Chain A
Amino acid sequence: MSDEMMEGGAVKKFCYVNRKAPYGTIYALESLEVVLIGAAFEQDVSLVFIDDGVYQLTKGQDTADIGMKNFSPTYRALEMYDVEKLYVDKEALEARGLSEEDLLVDVQVMSREEIAGLMEEQDVVLTF
């Protein structure tokens, strides 16, 4: 892994775009796994939550009765990996009857236009 890290040199802006809800499909969980592994590469990482992706961050997820692992605490661990730039679309929240208070981690809530601007500035965009 250290060889791979040294080869890179320049730091790129990596944006992980999350548009899907958790548990109904695996994309939310497995994209988070990429973020955690990717953190070791010390790139400039942003996570963007739009559309149903905002549901990944709701508080109080209790998966006991569906028999799946509750991976939502992992979002709180992100700052330990120096992944601190989490951006949530305000309109996506509102369309779903949610507010910042419903979210389990500190995020920056931004307008659609601001999120669009942020994504445009990135070097690499990963979607899942």
Chain B
Amino acid sequence: MLHTVNKSPFEKNSLESCLAYAHKGSTILLIEDGVYAALQNTAVAEMLKKAMNDFTICALEPDLKARGVRAKVMDGIKLVDYSGFVDLVVENDKVQAWL
């Protein structure tokens, strides 16, 4: 399953919930304000680093660039554009949006 998270981890618990329910081996795509979770040195960086052991974590590059934080992305986060987003949806059997 592909999981999308679109809210900032500092605003809502959507990412936390996603990580609690997603099966090991799933792919998690951060979009919109959700991309803030992908940045270095945040209060959630440890949570993300741990998550990378169980999940493939991707972030939508256009949303990072829009927010001026593209350069601060953590190592290990896979960046995709909208075309890559489409590919992720195709490659996974279904999508769950964590709003």
Contacts and interface: CB of A to CB of B under 8 A. Distances in A.
Asked if the two chains touch in their complex, CB atoms less than 8 Å apart, one says yes
Interface of A: 17, 19, 50-51, 112, 115-117, 119-120, 122-125, 127-128
Contacts of B17: 19, 50-51
B71 interface: no
Interface string B67-84: 000000000000000000
A127 B94 contact: no
A123 B94 contact: yes
Contact of B94 (A50, A117, A125): A125
Contact of B20 (A112, A122, A123): A112
Nearest to A125: B96
Interface in B1-43: 1, 13, 17, 20-23
A116 B22 contact: yes
A61 B68 CA distance: 45
Q: Which 6 pairs across A and B sit closest by C-beta, in order of nearness?
A: A116-B21, A125-B96, A127-B97, A120-B23, A51-B17, A127-B99
A122 B94 CA distance: 8
A101 B71 CA distance: 51
Contacts of A120: 1, 23
